[in-house]
Amino acid sequence: MIPMIFLLLSIVFLIVRVVPGDPVLLHFEKKASEEAMAEMRHELGLDQPLHIQYFQYLGGLLRGDLGKSMAPGRDSISQQIFSAFPATLELALFSMLIAVGIGVFLGVTASRSYNSIKDQLVRLFGIVVYTIPVFFLGMILLLVFSINLQWFPAGGRIKPLMEPDGWTFHFSPPPGGIVQVFAWSFFAGLISWVICLVVFKRKNVKFWPKGLLLSLLVLSAGWIIYAGIAWYLINRGVLQITGLYTIDSILDGNISKFVEAVRYLLLPSLTLGLMLSGVFIRLTRSNMLETLRLDFVTAARARGLKESSVVYNYALRNAFLPILTMMGLQFAMLLGGAILTETTFSWPGLGRYLVDRINFRDYTAIQGAVVFFGILVAIVNLIVDILYAYLDPRIRF
């Protein structure tokens, strides 16, 4: 894992520094004076020898510093990426939800009636959504639902008036107080509580009274730790409550804002979700076909359980592990799709940031964004590996 990330960072460094010859020259398309170019090189540290640049780059990464943009303000790339990241995260989460939902449902449906017309239709659907360029699908949805029917807005993330501070690349400190910090971190605490309960169940710890008391301890400890982290990050100006508008609006108790956020989110996440669902349909279908043939399913049927219960509670549970792995693997594809979807829907996330920077020939920012994408995928894969090892009782470290 570590050598892989390291290698990946080096690859990106080399691509930007070595492949084009000189990124500064490329940025100005040879139309600037020597002094201006020398000044930019100096400000960005590009006049140093290559190996020193490399160590500066790695050192900066350790501090979470991705360098300075080539744009006139020489803004910090890390800050720009952090302010764009929540939008991408929100889009990614919802599309993954939609993809898995559609994929699992259709996959199960297809596997229950193997080789029937229904099955063939679902398979065809899976292939077609996979071969549609995601931005083409997005444009069709835009054309039908927002331009002709006018049900949904045609782009952006929320009504301009409802933006926390408008979408800029700069980050302003959020208005969150200690109450909001606690409200937000409550969910994190709750998650750690649930994990703790599951662990106890696995370890056969008695629920009453030891398990409950210990888990409550974990809940409060987790809560306070997360609140501390959130508080620190907010004071550093890094975190904007969560930055996910759908969740923020609920935390604010602002229903109309929530409805708006969902209306803006629906088409982009549906586009991305449909694109990804093809893989999940295929995977669920083939796994379910295998699982439904196993003895324990027949046994469950023989005991007279309802068919839906057999399929969803018995078979699907066993077919779910590969789906989880696939969720991790598909995350990389999701990010690629997100770049195109964000551009289609003017969604102010990382993908649009990257495309924006490409158009400005801002090579240091491109490098920063690409590195960030890579690290993100590595982290997600790590999480999925851990989850997998935990959920599959056959793997024990």
Partner 1 sequence: MTIIGLLLVSSIIIMTVIGPWISPYNPTAINVSPPPNPAPPSADFPLGTNLLGQDMLSRLLCGGGVMLQVALLSVLFCFIIGVPIGLLASYVGGNLEKVLNIVMDSFYAFPGLVLAIAIAAMIGRGVFNMALSIAVVYVPSYFRIVRSQVLTIKELPYTEAARASGARGRTILLRYILPNIVPSIVVVATVNFADAILTAAGLTFVGLGVGIDVPDWGWDLTQGRVLLPSGSWWVITFPGIMIVLLALGFTLIGEGLSELLTPRLEK
Using CB under 8 A as the criterion, which residues of the chain lie in contact with partner 1 when the complex forms?
A: 3-5, 7-8, 11-12, 15-16, 19-20, 23, 26, 127-128, 130-136, 139-140, 142-143, 147-148, 154, 332-333, 335-337, 339-340, 343-344, 354-355, 358-359, 363, 366-367, 370, 373-374, 377-378, 381
In the complex, the smallest distance separating the C-beta of residue 277 from partner 1, rounded to whole angstroms, is 15
Q: Are 260 and 159 in contact (CB under 8 A)?
A: yes
CA separation for the pair 150, 152 (Å, rounded): 6
Q: How far is the CB of 95 from partner 1 (least distance, A)?
A: 14
CB nearer partner 1, residue 146 or residue 254: 146
- Residue among 291 and 344 whose Cβ is closer to partner 1: 344
Nearest approach in angstroms of CB 25 to partner 1 is 12
Q: Which is closer to partner 1, CB of 11 or CB of 389?
A: 11
The CB-of-77 to partner 1 minimum distance in angstroms stands at 14
The residue type at 352: R
Q: Is residue 239 a contact partner of residue 175, using CB atoms and an 8 Å limit? A: no
Taking the complex as a whole, how short is the minimal distance between the CB of residue 335 and partner 1, in angstroms?
A: 4
Is the Cβ of residue 52 or residue 128 nearer to partner 1 in the bound state? 128
- Please give the biggest Cα pair distance in the chain: 83
C-beta of 305 vs 370, nearer to partner 1: 370
Minimal distance in Å, beta carbon 214 to partner 1? 37
Say if residues 251 and 184 touch (Cβ distance below 8 Å).
yes
Residue 379 corresponds to which tokens in the numbers above? 């982290």
Kindly tell me which of 17 and 68 has the beta carbon lying closer to partner 1. Answer: 17
From the CB of 325, what's the least distance to partner 1, in Å? Answer: 14
| Smallest distance from partner 1 to CB 182, Å | 35
- For residue 303, CA distances in Å to 28, 104, 289, 293, 296 come to 74, 26, 21, 16, 11
Q: Name which of 44 and 300 has its Cβ closer to partner 1.
A: 44
Residue partners of 4: CB distance under 8 A and separation at least 6: 378
Peptide bond into 209 cis (omega under 30): yes
Least distance to partner 1, CB of residue 338, Å: 9
With respect to partner 1, which residue has the nearer C-beta, 140 or 299? Answer: 140
Between CA 344 and CA 132 the distance in angstroms is 14
64 dihedral zone (left: phi>0; alpha: psi -120 to 50; beta): left
**8 Å CB contact between 102 and 274:** yes
Q: Return d(Cα 339, Cα 271) in angstroms, integer.
A: 12
Count helices and strands (H / E) in the chain.
Answer: 16, 0
94's CB contacts (< 8 A; 6+ apart) are: 246, 265, 269, 273
Query: How far from 48 is each of 9, 44, 55, CA to CA, in Å?
Result: 19, 9, 11
Of the pair 3, 304, the CB lying nearest partner 1 is at 3
The nearest distance, CB 173 to partner 1, in angstroms, is 30
Beta strands in 256-333, from DSSP E residues, in sequence order? none
Instruction: Indicate the residue among 1 and 97 with the shorter CB distance to partner 1.
Output: 1
Using CA atoms, how far apart are residues 297 and 299, in angstroms rounded to an integer?
5
